[in-house]
Amino acid sequence: MKTNTKILVALLLLCVSSIINAQSIKITGVITDPANDPIIGCTISEKGTNNQTMSDIDGNYSITVQANSTIVFSYIGYVSKEIKVKIPENINITLEEDSHMLSETVVIGFNYVKKKDVTSAMSTSSGRRQKAGKSKPSAPQKPSISISQSDMKSTLEYNKKNKNEEYGAYVENSFKSPLDEALSTLSIDVDAASYTNFRRYVNQGEFPPKDAIRVEEFINYFKYKNDEPTTKDPVKVTTEVGQCPWNEQHRLVRIGVKARETEKENLPPSNLVFLIDVSGSMAGATRLDLVKKSMNLLVNNLRNTDRVAIVVYASEVGEKLASTPGSEKQKIKEVIDGLVASGSTNGAGGIQKAYEIAEKNFIKGGNNRIILCTDGDFNVGVSSNEGLQELIEKKRKSGIFLSILGYGMGNYKDAKMQILAEKGNGNASYIDNMQEANRVLVQEFSGTLFAVAKDVKLQIEFNPAQVQAYRLIGYESRILNKEDFNDDTKDAGEMGVGQTVTALYEVIPVGVKTNKLPKVDKLKYQKAAKSNENIILTDSPELLTVKLRYKEPDKDNSVNMELPVLDNKKNDVSSDMHFASAVAMFAQLIKDSDYKGDATYDKVISLAKSGLENDQEGYKAEFIRLIEVTKNLK
């Protein structure tokens, strides 16, 4: 009897132990350096898995792991720590500086190499972190992601020989009088590739070409707390008006659009085609190697109901993996990991093949999307911007969306990427490191891949009784004709689950003296039909009216929304308004805009710091560090 009791107790203990071992537990805490400053962007990972997170602006972290697992805390320039956890608890970590690594490394973006392997033009890490909120300039912060020194050295050598990047050229928007043009019409833009591309340049100690700076993509890289949709409409418009920080006599209008949030498990099944450039120009750590790591992050997030096919293109085009359910993650990863780069670039052929496969496996009512990973260097088949635009415009009618992930340094064809994204009912991101891949493909997975509204257009009507002149900041490539707003055949931008879009207008109120409006000679054969005495102005106190049109992803007819906007003449604006205007001011400053006014780096830093709310991931704090580095480079 005693023996049976002992066996029963042992079995019970074994069951309890198994339950504990399989239990998910939540670990929280704060990560600091020896000076007790918070470490922003420290990687916290569950050892042996792909489960990881990063510390926020205050060094706080939270991660759910399996009991009895080991958590690894790592940050370049510091000695990593490993801690085994058994129960939910709060674990505060102080990371010690790695003096050997700090003396031997030079920071380049989010990678590192030995000092002897790079030129003297690169910025050397100081080995110290600066506490968030302090204003003194600092060296680039130590990153959390690294690649091998040999890979980075070969990439640097490749870049010296291949500085052949291409960017579209756009004329900056000027001030317009509402007496002449009362309507401003544009397609929304959720892309953020320009900002990450700029970050890559600065972290290399360089400045990008002016044409590489698209102001709206800087602004829309960051998250803002716009109001959630509360009606059947999948999007909602919010507005606010305040003082323009680079010209205090002017007003600044922020128009925000927020797409509805949807839980991942409630999203429709996906039919995805990974279209991967494996041509010779994609060889290297920041190209195909980074593509493979990025795609594996995405595979980890697939559900059993999702499907993936893989198409590759170089000199030839081929289907590497037939459409495969998301439950077979290992099979998908093995194909991705086996890819190698060589040959020329038949991008158009790859695009045609990808659409063919996506159409073959089309899921009615699902998310049908191609994810193109490339540096944009097409040199076989259709390769001109115009030819690619025509190809994509034909294919988008199939109901298949297109997402562009740009990679590479030195040979990046930004102009082609923008055309593919704009004309293919999709979005574009530039992946400069694994942290950005994690943001786009994990943290913002739903917004990147699942559209809730397509052909989203804005049209703003300005009241000439209140507005002397207005200027749209950025969006030069997204301007539409006024008649395009009501034309449902005209293509416009898409919004994914939970995404936000911001448009800023600089407004010169009536009565403010200005030389911003161009002077035109009087007409010889016409009387001034548009002079004030021939136009009857209303007595409306409204500054402007915002109109928005959108279509549901599977519909062809648009829905119209309208919102009037008043100006209380005050400056009681949100922290988001402060931050968005700081980003706009910075982008205009580095672009050397004709409309930058009295913008300075110090003014940008001060304004950005007043808008640091809602920055759990630390991207806004990183932006302030980039400003400081940029200022020092200048």
Which domains occur in the chain, in start order?
16-94 (2.60.40.4130), 99-161 (no CATH), 183-262+453-516+538-570 (2.60.40.1230), 265-449 (3.40.50.410)
**What confidence score (pLDDT) does residue 151 get?**
39
- pLDDT level of residue 137 (50, 70, 90 thresholds): very low
- pLDDT level of residue 38 (50, 70, 90 thresholds): confident
Average pLDDT of the segment spanning 205-212: 88
> What does pLDDT average to over the chain?
82
DSSP per-residue letters across 337-360:
HT----S---HHHHHHHHHHHHHH
**What confidence score (pLDDT) does residue 304 get?**
93
Average pLDDT of the segment spanning 420-449: 84
For the chain, percent of residues with pLDDT exceeding 90: 49
pLDDT of 99 above 70: no
**What confidence score (pLDDT) does residue 327 get?**
95
pLDDT of 320 above 90: yes
- pLDDT level of residue 534 (50, 70, 90 thresholds): low
- pLDDT level of residue 101 (50, 70, 90 thresholds): very low
Query: How do beta strands 307-313 and 270-277 pair?
Result: parallel
* Residues 188-199 as b or e (16 or more Cβ within 10 Å = b): bbbbbbbbbbbb
- Least confident range from 466-475, 491-500, 504-513: namely 491-500
Higher pLDDT, 164 or 46: 46
- pLDDT level of residue 150 (50, 70, 90 thresholds): very low
- Least confident range from 68-72, 436-440, 446-450, 559-563: namely 446-450
**What confidence score (pLDDT) does residue 606 get?**
96
- pLDDT level of residue 98 (50, 70, 90 thresholds): low
**What confidence score (pLDDT) does residue 540 get?**
93
Residues 166/153/629/103 CA torsion (nearest 10 deg): 180
**What confidence score (pLDDT) does residue 59 get?**
82
Q: Which amino acid is at 627?
A: I
pLDDT of 587 above 90: yes
3 state DSSP class of 332: helix
pLDDT of 526 above 70: yes
pLDDT of 488 above 70: yes
238 CB burial (10 A radius; 0-12, 13-18, 19+): buried
Highest mean pLDDT of the ranges 146-160, 381-395, 419-433 = 419-433
**What confidence score (pLDDT) does residue 203 get?**
86
Tens-place pLDDT, residues 608-630: 999 998 888 889 999 999 999 99
**What confidence score (pLDDT) does residue 166 get?**
80
- pLDDT level of residue 506 (50, 70, 90 thresholds): very high
Tens-place pLDDT, residues 347-363: 778 888 999 999 999 99
Distance of CA 291 to the CA centre of its chain: 16
Average pLDDT of the segment spanning 55-60: 77
Average pLDDT of the segment spanning 136-148: 36
Quickly tell me which residue has 């037939």 as its tokens: 322
Average pLDDT of the segment spanning 254-265: 92
DSSP per-residue letters across 464-526:
TTTEEEEEE-S-GGGB--GGGGG-TTS--EEEETT-EEEEEEEEEETT---S-SPP-PPPSSS
pLDDT of 127 above 70: no
pLDDT of 325 above 90: yes
